[in-house]
Structure 1
């Protein structure tokens, strides 16, 4: 079982909770600082307002808060009591730092302020840089808020009125608020954890479905693609996975076809090579039995062995060429593609073709006003024409055979047709003509040296030219093989005008 923190849901949940906790902590710190500043400043404002309501020169007070007589000789202070808040300590600070208590401070100690600190505070007031309040502690470590007010009247010799009040109640209020916030944050964090897990489980459900589908994928069902998940990221992942499956399917299909072609090649080669090898082996046995001592028998055997070895060599070369042309990139096997005009190329082959035909007649027909320009391989076109003419020669009469080569231009196509007046081909055989090693008359073609590979090679060469080949034939009326080459577009446009 996988560890929880190694799962995607666990990692997302942990990261989310960490971010939420960090935000809560940051908000808590800021809230604590804000609340402290707000409470302290609010308390200081209230004290300043209360101090401003006092007489400009307070009198010494009794323990019950009654005002004693004070002021210049002959004058009496107004008889109005000054009420102090609980925990408030009021004292008069002289310019020399001497402190005179004005309030009853028997219950608690006054904050401890050194002479140097008094001197600094007096200087700040003189320069109008005094703070709203100061914080000091007493001997027991209790914190106090301390405020000062300058004295006026006949006591304006630099004396200051000091008002101190304990901060314990403010701190309790502040920590109470902080405790409430911490409890609320913990509850929110817990609720967020539960809601995050529930939401992630629902959000990651398509991913679990995708994982289940991927686990069931094998070589037999590569065509079963993942459906859209209605989530952008998962849809992108599904699209990438489906694209990978398509590439794998293509690769497997290519490998399968390669293996099939190799198997077919081995089977075809074994089948076709068996006959000449058997013949050569038979002649060797004849020679070993004494034919070597008979010059005539020796000459016939060697000549027959030479013919069989030549046929075997031709067969092997044809098989190798066919194997190359069977590759998906068989177009690259012909590396001499160029702009090619067919009439000059065919004219240059007529002498060779006539020598092959013997007494058979070969003609070339085309419209001299048309260029018949294609993108092709001179070597490939020559081999196509040689194979078609060779096939026609094998099926026409050696004395009265007629073979016609015609060039036609139809729209965006150049038609190369090879016709003969031979025996023709039955309808049931026409679909098999381009299969390797297919022979209509096996005895006759084998005797003539044919292996049934010429038309297969021709079809592969035609396909390498992005062309198409078809046959029309009737028994006793001859055959016509027609190849449709794409015409170069520039010349096709000129012809249409």
Structure 2
């Protein structure tokens, strides 16, 4: 439920709930103050004011009945005294006037009020007020048996009714205020709590992010706008965490690179310095020794140049600043040419290199940068040479293809790679054996460069290995077209 809907429902509830509660409260108060089923425990289960009203009405009704049917009985003083005793506790009084003179007046009414009553004129009215105490008057005209005229005045004190009415109105007002206050207070608390609580949680998350604490995940588990905000905070936290983690990894890798390059550069520099110092000290006192030291200086310089070249190449690849020169390339022909050149490498003197593309192969076209693809194969071969440890050393290449991809596989029978290290061999600066120097181990960028170049071609690279048996590295490139033959796999020559 959205916050807008929640607030709208709370506003509706703030109107409807008080109205319903006030209606129930008003009904209850009316029953308590005026109803017949008041809970006072008095006789008949009625409120006192209700009992007083009923009893007084009964007495007045009896007197009126006699006044209409047998008015002469009202001249009986004992009867009137008896009626008066009933009227006193009911805050009421009776005055009987015959021929303009008071024939009877209740003892509870003052003489001055009786005089004011006689001096006044009711006219056609049946009720009016007299006296400081505000008696209400109701009169009934009489005609006695001797044809004389008279009037019976019924007086009653309305103050109990007014007092009860004031209490009732006051109770209604207080009840209304309490109902509105409680209802609005409870609803406001519930709605504000449902909003403020997640806001506090968001504040804590923001403070954690400000302090750099990005490890604790955050979920509001709500379907409203705050839930969406919480999800955005969590996504931001996750991205910041991943970004900082990658940055820390990059910094760590950069430190490893600096340490590795420093170490690998220092080794040939130290060798060069040693050769120069030996020549300065006259140790190289023959032409053969001088030639040996100069050759050593050249080898060390080549190692330095290769390290710097790999670092520069990977840096440009990583920053996407190295341009690719695309051309249609027949992979089978390219691989055959590469293997033929490889066999001429002095390092391959005692290594058997085979290629399935030496026989008949279909034309397998890819869009590639010839120079960079050659760099890929050379880096893979260089990596294989470092691990060839058997008397009979073999490097085999073959092609496989389907309608979409062309896969070049390069296999060696070297020492293999530990399964725990295999997932990381394409990571930058990673070395299976960190103790290797520049002459044997390289900078740790060779296979990382392979991955960057292959992915720049829209392809993939993967490796499988078995300790003590060897390693197979597979490079898959998108195929442009297939001009002859069905899909098949060309197996390596033996």
TM-score by length of 2: 0.49
TM-score by length of 1: 0.49
